[in-house]
Structure 1
């Protein structure tokens, strides 16, 4: 595993940053970490990169404890709220970062040219950073994170200041890094972007993990079925409720929320067996945004309250 945490916890006095965080990130994985502002995402990231110390729990990166000097050389980091020396040029900033990583002068020059090309900044490297747009500054931050050719890239809101074209370019960059075996730990509030690049995601609410798993399995846990049914009656509604499924009528169709796909054949039996005529059935595909809204509402509270382990919900 590239990242493993065991009940990792951070308190700020009597205020919780995050608590009992247990997660595993495999090599070559794009792992998304989701939550509202203030939920504890950046607190976890700061502990992983050594900016703050945990109050309790343990964590390893590349199977070594947090803060290991050799491990730090293998990590590239883009913080959410970065501020650069705006009197420097982009080239000078990257040169400075390369020196901090102890990259040799010859290799540093080579890597600076490579990351400038990769991030579309060639031709702007000798301009003062204060003249850069927010999107260009974000690209420069990514260039700095990529400079040491890290095996683990930790990105906190990497596309927040970019336009749609810039977000697509960064999405393609992330997928390209994944194809090279790099591991990316990603914080973002742009859920559609996360859905397109992440293999696994974890959701945090008020400092506590409430769900984690593969995109496929997580999106499969909330499933809506749309049916065109003639002869709807109270017996059908009672049978659906007896399965533990919520239902509603929408534009003349019956919409049923099932817990798993395995419930669908029994749903059909409930409709037909109680006198309904089923003319059409189709599944509605859920998005990561829908999952997020569902779990961060009352559903997320219930998941956390019903948990009996520190890994509140693993899929």
Structure 2
């Protein structure tokens, strides 16, 4: 497989994937006698196209970080194969075109922020005015002041470490960026800034692959989404493809209890003297079967949310795959 010859328009799929995974698995032995096999990744297959932002969702322990580590060559796969930018895993030339922010980055704590970026930049062969300009631009981009950049990292907060981590991931102007929980430890203003950076990367034609637990960020940022449960990719597609065009109605009813409406409404909640919930039945049937004393206050057309999709899929697939 050869790399795509041109960069796709932001948000548009290139004919060839920037990342292709086929049947990727990872198992290892654990326990005192190493007599138990754990499989954090099971036959994962997916494609991420050049220029798109791809979000990988999953509960804790689903295998999201393991997948990133396998793709980056930190961990060897037990089975399957993958390519990055058209080349097999481990290709040195490809690694120079990658950026990576771990979930819990570790830095030399006695280096300053600026020294850290200079150190990483020099590892990529940058020097002189090019490196100085890159460092200055990235500090502005991630929202770290020059005063903060001159302080040692041992004096940084979790949010500041996350910012310098993102800056080092971009120091080589990568073509493919991996971000593991990039919003971790950030306040709302910091999260907004990181979202803007990811959108800028997308506008520049970069490919961004990131893990996240924050569903609202995924909805805003991602062209496509994958859902990993117990090491297996159970869903993958755009929001429209995953959530579908199926529409439901929510209703607000006065004069009746949740118990009286249980056959008509799901996800019900009591709000003072009113009950709110989602219709289980068609609208005509709902209005016809309301208790005589009930008054319909509000009826709204809605679409299934990403959170509901996530919870339903996780509940559906958890327990299906057992450790071997």
TM-score range, shorter chain: 0.7 to 0.9
Aligned positions of 1:262-273 closer than 5 A:
267=282
SS of residue paired to 2:149: coil
TM-score, scaled relative to structure 2? 0.78
The question of 1:46 aligning with 2:69 is answered yes
The answer to whether structure 1 residue 170 and structure 2 residue 194 are counterparts is yes
- Counterpart of 2:3 in structure 1 is none
* Pairing partner for 1:82 from 88, 95, 105: 105
Supply the distance in 2 between the matched residues of 1:157 and 1:269 (Cα, whole angstroms): 45
1:289 corresponds to: 307
Is the contact between residue 279 and residue 286 of structure 2 (CA under 8 Å) also seen in structure 1?
no
Aligned to 2:96: 73
Equivalent position SS for 1:67: coil
Whole-Å separation in 1 of the counterparts to 2:224 and 2:168: 25
1:232-311 maps to which residues of 2 (within 5 A)? Answer: 255-256=278-279, 267=282, 282-297=300-315, 299-301=316-318
For residue 263 of structure 1, what is the aligned residue in structure 2? none
CA distance 1:127–1:197, shift in 2 (3 Å): same
Q: Which ranges in structure 2 are unaligned for 5 or more consecutive residues? A: 1-16, 30-36, 254-260, 290-295
Pairing partner for 1:204 from 225, 228, 244: 228
1:147 maps to 2:162: no
Instruction: Note if 1:180 corresponds to 2:204.
Output: yes
The separation in 1 between residues aligned to 2:149 and 2:60, in whole angstroms, is 33
Aligned to 1:37: 60
Q: TM-score of the superposition, structure 1-length normalised?
A: 0.80
Aligned equivalents of 1:281, 1:204: Cα separation in 2: 35
Instruction: Give me the whole-angstrom Cα distance separating, in 2, the residues matched to 1:95 and 1:131.
Output: 19
Alpha-carbon deviation of 1:290? 2.1
Give the deviation of 1:271 after TM superposition. 6.7
Which string of whole-angstrom CA distances, capped at 9 and with x for unpartnered residues, describes residues 223-268 of structure 1? Answer: 4323689xxxxxxx9xx99xxxx9687756773359xxxxxxxx46
**Does 1:126 pair with 2:143?**
no
The 1:273–1:137 alpha-carbon spacing in structure 2 relative to 1, beyond 3 Å, is closer
1:150-161 equivalences in 2 (<5 Å) = 150-161=174-185
- Listed one character per residue, the Cα deviations across residues 135-184 of structure 1 (whole Å, up to 9, x for unaligned) are 11110000000101111110001111100000001101111111111111
Instruction: Confirm or deny that 1:195 pairs with 2:211.
Output: no
Q: Distance in 2 between matches of 1:163 and 1:208?
A: 32
CA deviation vs aligned residue, 1:6-46 (integer Å, no higher than 9, x gap): 01111112110111111111111111111111110000000
Deviations 1:90-110 (A, max 9, x none): 111111101111223332122
Find the partner of 1:102 among 125, 134, 141. 125
1:83 is paired with a residue whose SS is: coil
Distance change (3 Å), C-alpha of 1:253 and 1:157:
closer
Q: Number of residue pairs matched? A: 284
Counterpart in 2 of 1:232? none
Question: Which secondary structure does the structure 2 equivalent of 1:2 belong to?
Answer: strand
Query: 1:9·1:18 contact (CA, 8 Å) conserved in 2?
Result: yes
Once the two structures are superposed, residues 64-98 of structure 1 have per-residue CA deviations (whole angstroms, 9 ceiling, x without a partner) of 11111111111100011211111111111111101
Aligned residues of 2:139 and 2:167 also touching (Cα < 8 A): yes
CA contact (8 A) 2:246 2:303 kept: no
Q: Is 1:218 the counterpart of 2:218 in the alignment?
A: no
Distance 1:134 1:272 in 2: 53
Counterpart-to-counterpart distance in 2, 1:270 and 1:89: 67
SS in structure 2 at match of 1:296: helix
